[in-house]
Chain A
């Protein structure tokens, strides 16, 4: 574990640096909070609503799908280190594993689990809006009935 000693040292130094900065700022900086300053920032408008508690389910989906991939990656690391020693056996096992994950990935994508764009709607065709209908076909020229052919 001695190999981690420098990391721990650096961790201590980094925490110390951040903490000292905060202490210095507390000593140096002025402090006179007002109600307006400590209200939530909303571009100058007095906040009237609580921040949302519910989020689109897509974010949760991303979190869950990420776990699947994270586990896959974690499984891949040890394999990558000793892939040479495992040979063809390892290759077959990896392919089986990756195919299983990939199949579920295809399933997810096909079911729109990773679609972020707005749901594209087919506009129901309104009979009043179409290319064939122009002013020439819809506006009736009063007083010209039957006279165009004659003219």
Chain B
């Protein structure tokens, strides 16, 4: 001890890693923007009519997207690189997901503004938390080290727990927050335990070193490593809402404020899959025979449970929660393929899904009315006549989720099934198509309710008349819906730019430069 201290005293400098700030720009912009917004909003007078909180949030997210562009080019020129002593990697995969997560923040923010006004909530906290949570997602997407990934996971999750309980006056919102928090804390613990096991098996938490170790050595007894896989999968599976780690999803989606759900279903899911793809497909690629069967069955269960339970729901928000479980199953097919094609299919799916699910929950936000409580199927009766444009938007999103041709959903589903078939998982592909048919029934049910037959409509109109005035679509929400509709149909009609980008965006592991 004495000698050690004396040596430390003589060694003039410790080895400190070089921090390349530009490479961290997206995360720094998000965190800096969030902190700045928090302080300024706390100091500014309350109750201003202009939604400047939302404007700043969108500006920050767009700035983060803007910082991606030069890096994208740089990665194209020089190849992927890693920074901060190899704990953060910058490749096109991480940059692609950065854009996806930031886009989901932009859309969710546009819905949140109108929602807060309608519900009489004030303060910039939801925006601050959303930005912080998204920065956690960005860290997850570019983490090159399991500990950094855990850090990102926690930053992502803790902010979302609070967001779920954002609506102070709704009991269900608080209930959702508590449920999400308790189960989420468990899943984080599982994840951390998995990290410990992987460390025990390979002697490092750095993904590059883990992959190196696994490539150079053959483990005589891979039990510890496989246990690590399983525990890591629990952690990721919870975040992406895959069966059997899905039980929180319906309650939390139903209880949380609807615009927040739009972020949860798009941004949080994208971050979860980012970690899943990087850790499993890339780092543990050599051991795919060990983890593929687990992911296979998780995917099958997610597809079937999500589709079947979605159909029997009468609460639309709850039904969409199950549908998001179903979609998680589809994306898991891309993970299960463990190939470049699988990864790019999953990325394409995530990007397309972000727009359609965010849009869906955006419409739900508007239809929910003051109090965020009108989510029964009967509340949608006659919507096609009363609010033709809103109903049309919802039809587009639902058809896209069902996988109808000419929408982004069709191609997304096509690519993942294609990837599954390429990796010879024929039964999985069959189950996926079957579940698509089952869940299509749900989407058609909602559409039928909106454009229902005349006698239904009359009673519904009567109900609507007593329920109150026309639905008001806030301008910001309108813009977000237009963006989402255009993106959904646009990707469906002209998929090549996105699919080519997704093909470029394969994850790679790069050791630190020094």
Residues of A bordering B, CB below 8 Å: 82, 85-87, 89-90, 92, 99-100, 103-104, 106-107, 110-111
What residue of chain B has the Cβ atom nearest to residue A99's Cβ? B35
- Within the complex, the shortest CB–CB distance from B399 to chain A, in Å, comes to 44
B interface size (C-beta, 8 A): 13
Chain B residues in 8 Å Cβ range of A85 = 8, 11-14
- Within the complex, the shortest CB–CB distance from B6 to chain A, in Å, comes to 13
Contact A103 B38 (CB under 8 A): yes
Q: In the docked arrangement, what's the CA distance between A80 and B132, Å?
A: 29
Contact B38 A87 (CB under 8 A): no
Q: In the docked arrangement, what's the CA distance between A61 and B17, Å?
A: 37
Contact B13 A104 (CB under 8 A): no
Chain A residues in 8 Å Cβ range of B42 = 106-107, 110-111
Interface of A is mostly: helix
The 8 A CB mask of B27-56 against A (1 = contact, 0 = none) is 000000001001100110000000000000
Chain B residues in 8 Å Cβ range of A104 = 38
Other 8 A-B pairs with CB < 8 A, given A87-B16, A89-B17: A85-B11, A85-B13, A85-B14, A104-B38, A106-B39, A106-B43, A107-B39, A107-B42
Q: Give which listed residue, A86, A100, A106, A107, contacts B16 with CB less than 8 A.
A: A86
Sorted from nearest, which 6 A-B pairs have the closest CB atoms?
A110-B42, A89-B16, A107-B42, A85-B14, A103-B35, A103-B39
Q: In the docked arrangement, what's the CA distance between A111 and B42, Å?
A: 7
Contact B39 A82 (CB under 8 A): no
Q: In the docked arrangement, what's the CA distance between A82 and B17, Å?
A: 16
Q: Give which listed residue, B8, B19, B35, contacts A82 with CB less than 8 A.
A: B8
- Within the complex, the shortest CB–CB distance from B29 to chain A, in Å, comes to 14
- Within the complex, the shortest CB–CB distance from A20 to chain B, in Å, comes to 36
25 A-B interface contacts by CB (under 8 A): A82-B8, A82-B14, A85-B8, A85-B11, A85-B13, A85-B14, A86-B13, A86-B16, A87-B13, A87-B16, A89-B17, A89-B19, A90-B16, A92-B19, A99-B35, A100-B35, A103-B35, A103-B38, A104-B38, A106-B42, A107-B38, A107-B39, A107-B42, A110-B42, A111-B42
Q: In the docked arrangement, what's the CA distance between A117 and B253, Å?
A: 40
Q: In the docked arrangement, what's the CA distance between A82 and B39, Å?
A: 32
What residue of chain A has the Cβ atom nearest to residue B38's Cβ? A107
The 8 A CB mask of B351-389 against A (1 = contact, 0 = none) is 000000000000000000000000000000000000000
Contact A86 B35 (CB under 8 A): no
